[in-house]
């Protein structure tokens, strides 16, 4: 009988970059079920708050549920506290949710990233709630090793969010070429103190074309 973990939609590459003026999060769009490509339009970046997003790697169903849950909990937090939730607070909230069900874990690896009144930050959260603050770059999922090779070769702490977008696209594109569970397009979110921006497909295509010209 096919292993239960092979029967859920999974397989991903996600990356996150902390830039001097914000953060960048990026994913590809393929969801796999074993060796079968189950979807070419899987959503793997979710806006959680005004300036906070979450990327997901792993089970699509688990990721969708957690995205809905943490969005609701963040809204309740802001109503009760009468202030915007920080990136750290949202990451801690999500960490506690996952830790509370650690004996029956969700099959996910998450990144929470954004900008608040204090700083820009990204947190990597594992299936049982372990949360690590990432100071520079991070990659998750089946294509993460390839993505890390690109990120660590080209990243600088002085990189701007606009430059970070290009680097994130390059990292995801490289992973898609080597990892069969990653592919079918790229989603990118750029978050600064001024705005939350989801790049349009044509903008990403222009960035990809610029690589081929060099």
Which residues are known catalytic residues? Answer: 12
Angle, helices 144-154/161-178, rounded to nearest 10 degrees = 140
**Which backbone phi and psi does 91 adopt, to 5 degrees?**
-65, -40
DSSP 8-state assignment for residue 193:
S
Cross-strand bridge partners of residue 14: 27, 140
Gyration radius of the chain over CA positions:
16
Helix (H, G, I), strand (E, B) or coil at 37: strand
């Amino acid at each position: 009988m096919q292993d239960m973990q092979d029967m859920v939609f999974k397989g991903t590459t996600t990356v996150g970059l902390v830039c001097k003026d914000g953060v960048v999060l990026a994913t590809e769009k393929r969801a796999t079920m074993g060796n079968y490509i189950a979807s070419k339009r899987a959503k793997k970046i979710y806006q959680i708050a005004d300036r906070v997003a979450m990327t997901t790697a792993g089970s699509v169903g688990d990721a969708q549920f957690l995205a809905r849950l943490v969005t609701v909990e963040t809204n309740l937090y802001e109503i009760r506290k009468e202030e915007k939730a920080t990136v750290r607070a949202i990451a801690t909230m999500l960490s506690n949710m996952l830790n509370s069900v650690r004996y029956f874990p969700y099959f996910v690896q998450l990144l929470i990233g954004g900008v608040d009144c204090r700083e820009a930050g990204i947190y990597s959260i594992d299936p049982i709630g372990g949360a690590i603050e990432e100071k520079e770059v991070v990659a998750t999922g089946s294509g993460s090793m390839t993505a890390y090779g690109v990120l660590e070769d080209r990243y600088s702490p002085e990189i701007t969010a606009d430059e970070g977008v290009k680097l994130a696209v390059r990292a995801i594109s490289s992973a898609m070429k080597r990892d069969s569970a990653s592919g079918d397009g790229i989603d990118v979110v750029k978050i600064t103190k001024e705005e939350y921006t989801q790049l349009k497909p044509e903008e990403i295509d222009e960035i990809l074309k610029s690589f081929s010209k060099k």
